[in-house]
Amino acid sequence: MNTSLSVRSVARALEDVADGLSRVRIWHMLAWQEIRQRYRRSILGPFWLTISTGCLVAGMGPLYSKLLNQPLGVYFTYIAVGFVLWQLIAGLISDCCQSFINAEGFINQMKLPLTLHVARVVWKNALMFAHNSVIVFAVLVFSPPPFDAALLTSIAGLAVLLFNALWVGLLLGMLSARFRDIPQFINSLLQVGLFLTPILWKVEMLGDWRWFAIANPVYHFMEVIRSPLMGDGVTAQSWMAVGIITVVGWVVTLGVFAKFRARIPFWI
Amino acid sequence: MALAIARDVVVEFPVYGRRQQSLKRSVLRAATGGILATDARDHVVIRALDQVSFELAEGDRVALIGHNGSGKSTLLRVLAGAYEPVSGSIRVEGSVASMLSITLGLDMEATGYENIFMRAALMGLSQARTRDLVDDICDFAELGDYIQMPMRTYSSGMLMRLAFAISTSVSSDILLMDEWLSVGDASFSEKAARRLKSRVDDAKIMVLASHDMALVKRSCNRFITLEHGLITSDSTSYPT
Protein backbone atom coordinates (compact mmCIF):
# COMPACT_ATOMS: atom_id res chain seq x y z
CA MET A 1 0.00 0.00 0.00
CA ASN A 2 1.35 3.33 -1.00
CA THR A 3 0.67 5.63 1.91
CA SER A 4 2.95 8.46 0.96
CA LEU A 5 1.20 11.71 0.20
CA SER A 6 1.57 12.06 -3.55
CA VAL A 7 0.35 14.95 -5.67
CA ARG A 8 -1.93 12.51 -7.38
CA SER A 9 -3.62 11.36 -4.19
CA VAL A 10 -4.19 14.96 -3.09
CA ALA A 11 -5.65 15.76 -6.50
CA ARG A 12 -8.00 12.80 -6.25
CA ALA A 13 -9.05 13.84 -2.75
CA LEU A 14 -9.86 17.35 -3.98
CA GLU A 15 -11.71 15.86 -6.91
CA ASP A 16 -13.75 13.74 -4.51
CA VAL A 17 -14.67 16.81 -2.45
CA ALA A 18 -15.66 18.85 -5.50
CA ASP A 19 -17.56 16.00 -7.11
CA GLY A 20 -19.31 15.12 -3.86
CA LEU A 21 -20.46 18.68 -3.22
CA SER A 22 -21.65 19.13 -6.80
CA ARG A 23 -24.16 16.28 -6.58
CA VAL A 24 -26.67 18.48 -4.82
CA ARG A 25 -29.67 16.49 -5.94
CA ILE A 26 -28.48 13.25 -4.39
CA TRP A 27 -27.40 14.60 -1.01
CA HIS A 28 -30.49 16.73 -0.74
CA MET A 29 -32.73 13.75 -1.43
CA LEU A 30 -30.83 11.46 0.95
CA ALA A 31 -30.95 14.06 3.71
CA TRP A 32 -34.72 14.48 3.36
CA GLN A 33 -35.14 10.75 3.22
CA GLU A 34 -33.39 10.40 6.58
CA ILE A 35 -35.50 13.09 8.23
CA ARG A 36 -38.67 11.61 6.81
CA GLN A 37 -37.76 8.16 8.06
CA ARG A 38 -37.07 9.40 11.55
CA TYR A 39 -40.42 11.16 11.78
CA ARG A 40 -42.43 8.71 9.72
CA ARG A 41 -46.19 9.24 10.00
CA SER A 42 -45.76 11.90 12.65
CA ILE A 43 -47.90 14.94 11.89
CA LEU A 44 -45.50 17.58 13.16
CA GLY A 45 -42.40 15.76 11.93
CA PRO A 46 -39.16 17.64 12.49
CA PHE A 47 -41.09 20.39 14.28
CA TRP A 48 -41.05 18.08 17.30
CA LEU A 49 -37.45 19.10 17.70
CA THR A 50 -38.56 22.73 17.63
CA ILE A 51 -41.13 22.00 20.30
CA SER A 52 -38.70 20.18 22.57
CA THR A 53 -36.12 22.93 22.22
CA GLY A 54 -38.87 25.49 22.86
CA CYS A 55 -39.91 23.72 26.06
CA LEU A 56 -36.31 23.53 27.19
CA VAL A 57 -35.74 27.23 26.63
CA ALA A 58 -39.07 28.27 28.12
CA GLY A 59 -38.42 26.15 31.18
CA MET A 60 -34.78 26.92 31.80
CA GLY A 61 -34.75 30.58 30.74
CA PRO A 62 -36.63 32.05 33.70
CA LEU A 63 -35.03 29.66 36.22
CA TYR A 64 -31.48 30.33 35.18
CA SER A 65 -32.01 34.05 34.82
CA LYS A 66 -33.01 33.94 38.49
CA LEU A 67 -30.16 31.62 39.49
CA LEU A 68 -27.55 33.64 37.67
CA ASN A 69 -29.17 36.96 38.49
CA GLN A 70 -29.59 38.06 34.87
CA PRO A 71 -32.28 40.34 33.40
CA LEU A 72 -34.83 37.94 31.89
CA GLY A 73 -35.33 39.64 28.49
CA VAL A 74 -31.74 39.63 27.29
CA TYR A 75 -30.90 36.35 28.96
CA PHE A 76 -33.85 34.65 27.32
CA THR A 77 -32.62 35.60 23.85
CA TYR A 78 -29.14 34.50 24.86
CA ILE A 79 -30.03 30.97 25.85
CA ALA A 80 -32.63 30.54 23.08
CA VAL A 81 -30.05 31.33 20.40
CA GLY A 82 -27.39 29.39 22.32
CA PHE A 83 -29.48 26.25 22.64
CA VAL A 84 -30.58 26.20 19.02
CA LEU A 85 -26.98 26.64 17.90
CA TRP A 86 -25.76 24.01 20.32
CA GLN A 87 -28.27 21.52 18.94
CA LEU A 88 -27.00 22.22 15.45
CA ILE A 89 -23.35 21.86 16.45
CA ALA A 90 -23.83 18.81 18.69
CA GLY A 91 -26.04 17.18 16.06
CA LEU A 92 -23.44 17.82 13.39
CA ILE A 93 -20.55 16.45 15.43
CA SER A 94 -22.47 13.40 16.54
CA ASP A 95 -23.80 12.60 13.04
CA CYS A 96 -20.44 13.31 11.43
CA CYS A 97 -19.03 10.30 13.29
CA GLN A 98 -21.52 8.14 11.43
CA SER A 99 -21.14 9.77 8.03
CA PHE A 100 -19.34 6.80 6.47
CA ILE A 101 -20.49 4.06 8.83
CA ASN A 102 -24.15 4.71 8.00
CA ALA A 103 -23.45 4.90 4.28
CA GLU A 104 -21.95 1.40 4.24
CA GLY A 105 -24.42 0.08 1.69
CA PHE A 106 -23.66 2.87 -0.77
CA ILE A 107 -19.92 2.90 -0.24
CA ASN A 108 -19.50 -0.85 -0.78
CA GLN A 109 -21.67 -1.09 -3.86
CA MET A 110 -21.49 2.15 -5.78
CA LYS A 111 -19.02 4.53 -7.20
CA LEU A 112 -19.99 7.72 -5.42
CA PRO A 113 -17.67 10.41 -4.08
CA LEU A 114 -17.22 9.88 -0.34
CA THR A 115 -17.72 13.59 0.32
CA LEU A 116 -21.30 13.15 -0.85
CA HIS A 117 -22.08 11.18 2.32
CA VAL A 118 -20.66 13.96 4.46
CA ALA A 119 -22.60 16.62 2.55
CA ARG A 120 -25.73 14.61 3.20
CA VAL A 121 -25.08 14.58 6.96
CA VAL A 122 -24.31 18.31 7.06
CA TRP A 123 -27.37 19.17 4.97
CA LYS A 124 -29.64 17.00 7.11
CA ASN A 125 -28.54 18.93 10.17
CA ALA A 126 -28.95 22.23 8.36
CA LEU A 127 -32.53 21.27 7.51
CA MET A 128 -33.21 20.33 11.13
CA PHE A 129 -31.72 23.65 12.17
CA ALA A 130 -34.04 25.45 9.78
CA HIS A 131 -37.00 23.97 11.68
CA ASN A 132 -35.42 24.74 15.02
CA SER A 133 -34.60 28.31 14.11
CA VAL A 134 -38.29 29.15 14.36
CA ILE A 135 -37.51 29.58 18.07
CA VAL A 136 -34.80 32.12 17.32
CA PHE A 137 -37.18 34.13 15.14
CA ALA A 138 -39.91 33.96 17.78
CA VAL A 139 -37.56 35.25 20.46
CA LEU A 140 -36.16 37.96 18.22
CA VAL A 141 -39.67 39.30 17.62
CA PHE A 142 -39.83 40.13 21.33
CA SER A 143 -36.34 41.53 21.58
CA PRO A 144 -35.42 42.58 18.05
CA PRO A 145 -31.72 43.04 17.39
CA PRO A 146 -30.58 46.22 15.67
CA PHE A 147 -31.25 45.55 12.00
CA ASP A 148 -27.92 46.48 10.52
CA ALA A 149 -25.02 44.96 8.67
CA ALA A 150 -24.07 43.07 11.81
CA LEU A 151 -26.92 40.68 11.16
CA LEU A 152 -25.20 39.62 7.96
CA THR A 153 -22.30 38.59 10.18
CA SER A 154 -24.56 36.01 11.78
CA ILE A 155 -25.44 34.55 8.42
CA ALA A 156 -21.81 34.54 7.34
CA GLY A 157 -20.92 32.86 10.64
CA LEU A 158 -23.49 30.16 9.98
CA ALA A 159 -22.11 29.56 6.50
CA VAL A 160 -18.58 29.27 7.91
CA LEU A 161 -19.85 26.83 10.54
CA LEU A 162 -21.38 24.55 7.88
CA PHE A 163 -18.22 24.82 5.77
CA ASN A 164 -16.24 23.62 8.79
CA ALA A 165 -18.74 20.84 9.40
CA LEU A 166 -17.65 19.34 6.07
CA TRP A 167 -14.07 18.79 7.16
CA VAL A 168 -15.18 17.62 10.59
CA GLY A 169 -17.43 15.11 8.83
CA LEU A 170 -14.64 13.83 6.62
CA LEU A 171 -12.13 13.58 9.47
CA LEU A 172 -14.42 12.24 12.19
CA GLY A 173 -16.14 10.00 9.65
CA MET A 174 -12.80 8.42 8.75
CA LEU A 175 -11.58 8.12 12.35
CA SER A 176 -14.89 6.66 13.48
CA ALA A 177 -15.01 4.14 10.64
CA ARG A 178 -11.54 2.90 11.54
CA PHE A 179 -11.74 3.17 15.33
CA ARG A 180 -15.22 2.35 16.52
CA ASP A 181 -14.69 3.76 20.02
CA ILE A 182 -14.44 7.29 18.69
CA PRO A 183 -18.21 7.87 18.23
CA GLN A 184 -18.82 6.70 21.80
CA PHE A 185 -16.09 8.95 23.09
CA ILE A 186 -17.36 11.96 21.13
CA ASN A 187 -20.91 11.41 22.34
CA SER A 188 -19.87 11.39 25.99
CA LEU A 189 -17.85 14.52 25.33
CA LEU A 190 -20.89 16.21 23.80
CA GLN A 191 -23.01 15.55 26.87
CA VAL A 192 -20.69 17.52 29.09
CA GLY A 193 -20.00 20.01 26.30
CA LEU A 194 -23.41 21.60 26.77
CA PHE A 195 -22.37 22.70 30.24
CA LEU A 196 -18.77 23.57 29.47
CA THR A 197 -19.70 25.87 26.57
CA PRO A 198 -21.11 29.33 27.30
CA ILE A 199 -24.77 28.61 26.56
CA LEU A 200 -26.44 28.84 29.95
CA TRP A 201 -23.75 31.11 31.39
CA LYS A 202 -21.83 34.04 29.96
CA VAL A 203 -18.11 34.42 29.51
CA GLU A 204 -18.08 37.56 31.70
CA MET A 205 -19.15 35.42 34.66
CA LEU A 206 -15.90 33.47 34.46
CA GLY A 207 -13.78 36.32 35.80
CA ASP A 208 -10.14 35.28 35.59
CA TRP A 209 -11.22 31.91 34.16
CA ARG A 210 -12.02 33.46 30.78
CA TRP A 211 -9.36 31.31 29.14
CA PHE A 212 -11.64 28.36 29.82
CA ALA A 213 -14.14 29.60 27.24
CA ILE A 214 -11.53 30.96 24.89
CA ALA A 215 -9.84 27.56 24.72
CA ASN A 216 -13.14 26.03 23.57
CA PRO A 217 -13.37 26.08 19.75
CA VAL A 218 -17.15 25.74 19.83
CA TYR A 219 -17.39 28.99 21.79
CA HIS A 220 -15.88 31.01 18.92
CA PHE A 221 -18.28 29.56 16.37
CA MET A 222 -21.17 30.38 18.69
CA GLU A 223 -19.83 33.88 19.21
CA VAL A 224 -19.71 34.83 15.54
CA ILE A 225 -23.33 33.77 15.08
CA ARG A 226 -24.86 34.71 18.43
CA SER A 227 -23.25 38.06 19.25
CA PRO A 228 -24.71 40.03 16.32
CA LEU A 229 -28.17 38.75 17.23
CA MET A 230 -27.64 40.05 20.76
CA GLY A 231 -26.68 43.41 19.37
CA ASP A 232 -23.02 42.94 20.26
CA GLY A 233 -20.02 42.98 17.99
CA VAL A 234 -17.92 39.90 17.35
CA THR A 235 -14.44 40.09 18.84
CA ALA A 236 -11.47 39.93 16.51
CA GLN A 237 -10.24 37.09 18.66
CA SER A 238 -13.24 34.93 17.80
CA TRP A 239 -12.96 35.66 14.08
CA MET A 240 -9.30 34.80 14.21
CA ALA A 241 -9.96 31.54 16.04
CA VAL A 242 -12.64 30.60 13.51
CA GLY A 243 -10.32 31.48 10.62
CA ILE A 244 -7.45 29.42 11.99
CA ILE A 245 -9.68 26.44 12.73
CA THR A 246 -11.13 26.58 9.21
CA VAL A 247 -7.76 26.67 7.47
CA VAL A 248 -5.91 24.21 9.71
CA GLY A 249 -8.91 21.88 9.81
CA TRP A 250 -9.23 21.71 6.04
CA VAL A 251 -5.50 21.32 5.42
CA VAL A 252 -5.12 18.49 7.95
CA THR A 253 -8.31 16.80 6.76
CA LEU A 254 -7.33 16.95 3.10
CA GLY A 255 -3.98 15.41 3.97
CA VAL A 256 -5.54 12.57 5.92
CA PHE A 257 -8.29 12.13 3.33
CA ALA A 258 -5.79 12.00 0.48
CA LYS A 259 -3.84 9.33 2.28
CA PHE A 260 -6.66 7.07 3.40
CA ARG A 261 -9.55 7.81 1.02
CA ALA A 262 -9.20 4.55 -0.89
CA ARG A 263 -9.08 2.56 2.37
CA ILE A 264 -12.40 3.80 3.72
CA PRO A 265 -14.57 1.16 1.95
CA PHE A 266 -12.54 -1.54 3.67
CA TRP A 267 -13.01 -0.06 7.12
CA ILE A 268 -16.78 -0.24 7.17
CA MET B 1 -15.59 2.74 -26.70
CA ALA B 2 -15.77 0.28 -23.83
CA LEU B 3 -12.97 -1.55 -22.13
CA ALA B 4 -11.77 -2.72 -18.77
CA ILE B 5 -8.13 -3.43 -18.06
CA ALA B 6 -6.92 -4.84 -14.77
CA ARG B 7 -3.23 -5.14 -14.02
CA ASP B 8 -2.09 -7.10 -10.97
CA VAL B 9 -5.08 -5.97 -8.98
CA VAL B 10 -4.82 -6.81 -5.29
CA VAL B 11 -7.66 -6.20 -2.87
CA GLU B 12 -7.21 -6.94 0.81
CA PHE B 13 -9.74 -6.59 3.58
CA PRO B 14 -8.26 -5.80 6.94
CA VAL B 15 -9.99 -7.68 9.74
CA TYR B 16 -10.21 -5.54 12.82
CA GLY B 17 -11.54 -6.45 16.21
CA ARG B 18 -10.44 -10.09 15.95
CA ARG B 19 -7.92 -11.56 18.30
CA GLN B 20 -4.98 -11.52 16.01
CA GLN B 21 -2.27 -13.30 17.96
CA SER B 22 -3.23 -16.80 16.90
CA LEU B 23 -3.10 -15.86 13.25
CA LYS B 24 0.05 -13.84 13.34
CA ARG B 25 2.71 -14.96 10.93
CA SER B 26 0.60 -17.82 9.71
CA VAL B 27 -1.04 -18.25 6.40
CA LEU B 28 -4.18 -20.29 6.33
CA ARG B 29 -5.79 -21.77 3.31
CA ALA B 30 -9.43 -22.61 3.76
CA ALA B 31 -11.66 -24.55 1.41
CA THR B 32 -13.45 -21.39 0.38
CA GLY B 33 -12.76 -17.70 0.79
CA GLY B 34 -9.75 -15.52 0.19
CA ILE B 35 -6.40 -16.27 1.69
CA LEU B 36 -5.94 -15.17 5.28
CA ALA B 37 -2.60 -13.55 5.78
CA THR B 38 -0.96 -10.79 7.73
CA ASP B 39 0.16 -7.51 6.25
CA ALA B 40 3.35 -5.58 6.95
CA ARG B 41 2.03 -4.32 10.25
CA ASP B 42 0.73 -7.69 11.43
CA HIS B 43 -2.91 -6.92 10.82
CA VAL B 44 -4.92 -9.93 9.77
CA VAL B 45 -6.07 -9.38 6.22
CA ILE B 46 -8.17 -11.34 3.80
CA ARG B 47 -6.68 -11.20 0.35
CA ALA B 48 -9.83 -11.20 -1.74
CA LEU B 49 -8.11 -10.59 -5.07
CA ASP B 50 -4.53 -11.59 -5.70
CA GLN B 51 -2.65 -10.17 -8.70
CA VAL B 52 -5.66 -10.28 -10.95
CA SER B 53 -5.01 -9.23 -14.55
CA PHE B 54 -7.26 -9.25 -17.58
CA GLU B 55 -8.37 -7.16 -20.51
CA LEU B 56 -12.01 -6.97 -21.41
CA ALA B 57 -12.89 -5.70 -24.88
CA GLU B 58 -16.10 -4.98 -26.72
CA GLY B 59 -18.12 -8.10 -27.36
CA ASP B 60 -16.93 -9.87 -24.23
CA ARG B 61 -19.64 -11.66 -22.29
CA VAL B 62 -17.73 -12.68 -19.23
CA ALA B 63 -18.79 -15.28 -16.70
CA LEU B 64 -17.06 -15.15 -13.34
CA ILE B 65 -17.01 -18.64 -11.92
CA GLY B 66 -15.84 -19.83 -8.54
CA HIS B 67 -16.82 -20.93 -5.04
CA ASN B 68 -18.47 -18.64 -2.52
CA GLY B 69 -15.83 -16.20 -1.37
CA SER B 70 -13.52 -16.80 -4.31
CA GLY B 71 -13.53 -13.09 -5.11
CA LYS B 72 -16.27 -12.79 -7.75
CA SER B 73 -18.28 -10.13 -5.96
CA THR B 74 -15.17 -8.24 -4.94
CA LEU B 75 -14.06 -8.17 -8.55
CA LEU B 76 -17.46 -6.85 -9.62
CA ARG B 77 -17.18 -4.09 -7.03
CA VAL B 78 -13.73 -3.19 -8.29
CA LEU B 79 -15.16 -2.96 -11.81
CA ALA B 80 -18.07 -0.87 -10.48
CA GLY B 81 -15.53 1.51 -8.93
CA ALA B 82 -16.60 1.01 -5.32
CA TYR B 83 -13.28 -0.55 -4.31
CA GLU B 84 -9.89 0.73 -5.30
CA PRO B 85 -7.13 -1.88 -5.45
CA VAL B 86 -4.48 -1.88 -2.73
CA SER B 87 -1.93 -2.34 -5.48
CA GLY B 88 -2.12 -2.77 -9.22
CA SER B 89 -4.40 -0.73 -11.41
CA ILE B 90 -7.82 -0.85 -12.96
CA ARG B 91 -8.96 1.15 -15.94
CA VAL B 92 -12.58 1.16 -17.00
CA GLU B 93 -13.86 3.13 -19.95
CA GLY B 94 -17.49 3.48 -20.89
CA SER B 95 -20.66 3.94 -18.87
CA VAL B 96 -21.13 1.28 -16.23
CA ALA B 97 -24.51 -0.11 -15.16
CA SER B 98 -24.20 -1.99 -11.92
CA MET B 99 -27.00 -4.40 -11.12
CA LEU B 100 -25.28 -5.39 -7.89
CA SER B 101 -27.94 -3.99 -5.57
CA ILE B 102 -30.92 -2.61 -7.41
CA THR B 103 -32.87 -1.67 -4.27
CA LEU B 104 -30.10 0.42 -2.70
CA GLY B 105 -31.25 3.95 -1.85
CA LEU B 106 -34.95 3.22 -2.05
CA ASP B 107 -36.97 5.04 0.57
CA MET B 108 -39.93 3.15 2.04
CA GLU B 109 -41.61 6.40 3.13
CA ALA B 110 -41.50 7.94 -0.33
CA THR B 111 -43.84 7.02 -3.16
CA GLY B 112 -42.76 4.76 -5.96
CA TYR B 113 -42.77 7.78 -8.25
CA GLU B 114 -40.40 9.75 -5.99
CA ASN B 115 -38.17 6.72 -5.70
CA ILE B 116 -37.77 6.56 -9.45
CA PHE B 117 -36.11 9.97 -9.29
CA MET B 118 -33.97 8.95 -6.30
CA ARG B 119 -32.63 5.81 -7.94
CA ALA B 120 -32.18 7.53 -11.28
CA ALA B 121 -30.06 10.23 -9.60
CA LEU B 122 -27.90 7.54 -8.00
CA MET B 123 -27.51 5.92 -11.41
CA GLY B 124 -26.22 9.25 -12.67
CA LEU B 125 -29.22 10.19 -14.81
CA SER B 126 -30.16 13.84 -15.06
CA GLN B 127 -33.55 15.04 -13.92
CA ALA B 128 -34.61 15.85 -17.48
CA ARG B 129 -33.59 12.40 -18.69
CA THR B 130 -35.50 10.82 -15.79
CA ARG B 131 -38.62 12.76 -16.69
CA ASP B 132 -38.42 11.31 -20.19
CA LEU B 133 -38.12 7.80 -18.80
CA VAL B 134 -40.53 7.95 -15.92
CA ASP B 135 -43.71 6.99 -17.83
CA ASP B 136 -42.01 4.05 -19.39
CA ILE B 137 -40.72 2.89 -16.00
CA CYS B 138 -44.19 3.18 -14.44
CA ASP B 139 -45.75 1.23 -17.30
CA PHE B 140 -43.14 -1.46 -17.14
CA ALA B 141 -43.45 -1.99 -13.39
CA GLU B 142 -47.25 -2.42 -13.77
CA LEU B 143 -47.96 -0.86 -10.41
CA GLY B 144 -50.97 1.17 -11.51
CA ASP B 145 -52.05 3.74 -8.93
CA TYR B 146 -49.69 2.21 -6.39
CA ILE B 147 -46.94 4.27 -7.99
CA GLN B 148 -48.33 7.24 -6.00
CA MET B 149 -48.37 5.29 -2.71
CA PRO B 150 -45.58 5.13 -0.13
CA MET B 151 -43.34 2.23 -0.91
CA ARG B 152 -43.88 0.64 2.51
CA THR B 153 -47.30 -0.43 1.22
CA TYR B 154 -45.72 -2.50 -1.55
CA SER B 155 -45.33 -6.25 -1.47
CA SER B 156 -41.76 -7.45 -1.94
CA GLY B 157 -42.65 -8.53 -5.46
CA MET B 158 -43.93 -5.05 -6.34
CA LEU B 159 -40.83 -3.47 -4.88
CA MET B 160 -38.56 -5.70 -6.95
CA ARG B 161 -40.57 -5.00 -10.09
CA LEU B 162 -40.12 -1.28 -9.66
CA ALA B 163 -36.43 -1.58 -8.77
CA PHE B 164 -35.91 -3.75 -11.83
CA ALA B 165 -37.81 -1.36 -14.09
CA ILE B 166 -35.65 1.57 -12.97
CA SER B 167 -32.32 -0.25 -13.15
CA THR B 168 -32.96 -1.58 -16.62
CA SER B 169 -34.46 1.64 -17.99
CA VAL B 170 -31.29 2.67 -19.79
CA SER B 171 -28.58 0.86 -21.72
CA SER B 172 -24.92 1.12 -20.76
CA ASP B 173 -21.60 0.20 -22.23
CA ILE B 174 -20.65 -2.14 -19.41
CA LEU B 175 -23.17 -4.23 -17.51
CA LEU B 176 -22.28 -5.83 -14.17
CA MET B 177 -24.45 -8.50 -12.59
CA ASP B 178 -24.14 -10.69 -9.52
CA GLU B 179 -26.36 -13.61 -10.51
CA TRP B 180 -28.87 -13.19 -13.33
CA LEU B 181 -31.72 -10.94 -12.25
CA SER B 182 -35.12 -12.52 -12.23
CA VAL B 183 -38.17 -10.90 -10.71
CA GLY B 184 -41.91 -11.20 -10.46
CA ASP B 185 -44.50 -13.83 -11.21
CA ALA B 186 -44.66 -15.89 -14.38
CA SER B 187 -45.97 -13.27 -16.81
CA PHE B 188 -43.83 -10.46 -15.44
CA SER B 189 -40.68 -12.52 -15.24
CA GLU B 190 -41.00 -13.34 -18.93
CA LYS B 191 -41.25 -9.66 -19.78
CA ALA B 192 -38.37 -8.88 -17.40
CA ALA B 193 -36.22 -11.56 -19.00
CA ARG B 194 -36.82 -10.01 -22.42
CA ARG B 195 -35.92 -6.56 -21.13
CA LEU B 196 -32.78 -7.81 -19.44
CA LYS B 197 -31.78 -9.75 -22.54
CA SER B 198 -32.04 -6.61 -24.64
CA ARG B 199 -29.97 -4.61 -22.14
CA VAL B 200 -27.34 -7.32 -22.18
CA ASP B 201 -27.36 -7.29 -25.98
CA ASP B 202 -27.00 -3.49 -25.99
CA ALA B 203 -24.08 -3.61 -23.59
CA LYS B 204 -20.66 -3.78 -25.17
CA ILE B 205 -19.26 -5.71 -22.25
CA MET B 206 -21.12 -7.84 -19.74
CA VAL B 207 -19.66 -9.35 -16.59
CA LEU B 208 -21.82 -11.87 -14.78
CA ALA B 209 -20.94 -13.71 -11.60
CA SER B 210 -22.97 -16.88 -11.39
CA HIS B 211 -23.12 -20.44 -10.11
CA ASP B 212 -25.62 -21.43 -12.78
CA MET B 213 -23.57 -23.47 -15.23
CA ALA B 214 -26.27 -23.85 -17.86
CA LEU B 215 -27.03 -20.14 -17.79
CA VAL B 216 -23.46 -18.93 -18.18
CA LYS B 217 -22.79 -21.46 -20.94
CA ARG B 218 -25.79 -20.06 -22.76
CA SER B 219 -25.11 -16.36 -22.29
CA CYS B 220 -21.33 -15.95 -22.05
CA ASN B 221 -18.42 -16.29 -24.43
CA ARG B 222 -15.59 -15.96 -21.96
CA PHE B 223 -15.13 -17.78 -18.67
CA ILE B 224 -12.89 -16.55 -15.87
CA THR B 225 -12.45 -18.88 -12.94
CA LEU B 226 -11.42 -17.49 -9.58
CA GLU B 227 -10.01 -19.49 -6.71
CA HIS B 228 -8.92 -17.85 -3.48
CA GLY B 229 -8.78 -14.54 -5.29
CA LEU B 230 -6.53 -15.84 -8.06
CA ILE B 231 -7.52 -16.26 -11.66
CA THR B 232 -6.98 -19.95 -12.36
CA SER B 233 -8.34 -20.00 -15.86
CA ASP B 234 -9.53 -17.56 -18.49
CA SER B 235 -10.84 -19.17 -21.65
CA THR B 236 -13.51 -18.99 -24.29
CA SER B 237 -15.02 -22.33 -23.34
CA TYR B 238 -16.50 -23.43 -20.03
CA PRO B 239 -13.73 -25.03 -17.95
CA THR B 240 -14.24 -28.72 -17.41
Summarised one tens digit per residue, pLDDT across range A3-38 is 467 888 999 999 999 999 999 999 999 999 889 888
Contacting residues of A for B39, CB less than 8 Å apart: 1
**Whether residue B123 has pLDDT greater than 50:** yes
B122 → closest Cβ in A110, A178, A267: A110
Number of domains, chain B: 2
**B58 within domain boundaries:** yes
**In chain A, what percentage of residues exceed pLDDT 90?**
64
**B105 within domain boundaries:** no
Residues B196 and B214 in one domain: no
Task: Say what the pLDDT of residue B21 is.
Answer: 45
B98 → closest Cβ in A29, A110, A180: A110
Contact (CB, 8 A) for B121 and A148: no
* A178 contact partners, CB below 8 Å, separation of at least 6: A260, A267, B16
**Whether residue A141 has pLDDT greater than 50:** yes
Residues B164 and B220 in one domain: no
Range of the domain at B124: 112-203
CATH number, position B218: 3.40.50.300
Task: Say what the pLDDT of residue B25 is.
Answer: 45
Residues B195 and B220 in one domain: no
**B165 within domain boundaries:** yes
Confidence grade of residue B59 (pLDDT, cut at 50, 70, 90): very high
**B102 within domain boundaries:** no
> Residue B83 and residue A26: Cβ atoms within 8 Å?
no
Confidence grade of residue B185 (pLDDT, cut at 50, 70, 90): confident
- The B44-56 sheet, strands edge to edge: B35-38, B44-56, B3-14, B87-93
Confidence grade of residue B44 (pLDDT, cut at 50, 70, 90): confident
Task: Say what the pLDDT of residue A268 is.
Answer: 85
**B101 within domain boundaries:** no
> Residue B81 and residue A262: Cβ atoms within 8 Å?
no
Task: Say what the pLDDT of residue B58 is.
Answer: 93
**In chain B, what percentage of residues exceed pLDDT 70?**
89
pTM: 0.89
Our CA-based measurement puts residue A231 at a distance from the nearest CA of chain B, in whole angstroms, of: 43
Mean pLDDT of B88-95: 93
What mean pLDDT value characterizes chain B? Answer: 87
Residues B185 and B130 in one domain: yes
Contacting residues of A for B107, CB less than 8 Å apart: 33, 36-37
**Whether residue B156 has pLDDT greater than 80:** yes
**B138 within domain boundaries:** yes
Task: Say what the pLDDT of residue A39 is.
Answer: 86
Contacting residues of A for B108, CB less than 8 Å apart: 37
Residues B172 and B219 in one domain: no
What mean pLDDT value characterizes chain A? Answer: 91
**Whether residue B31 has pLDDT greater than 70:** no
**Whether residue B184 has pLDDT greater than 80:** no
Residues B192 and B216 in one domain: no
User: Cα separation of B219 and B197, whole Å?
Assistant: 9
Residues B66 and B126 in one domain: no
**B106 within domain boundaries:** no
Our CA-based measurement puts residue B187 at a distance from the nearest CA of chain A, in whole angstroms, of: 30
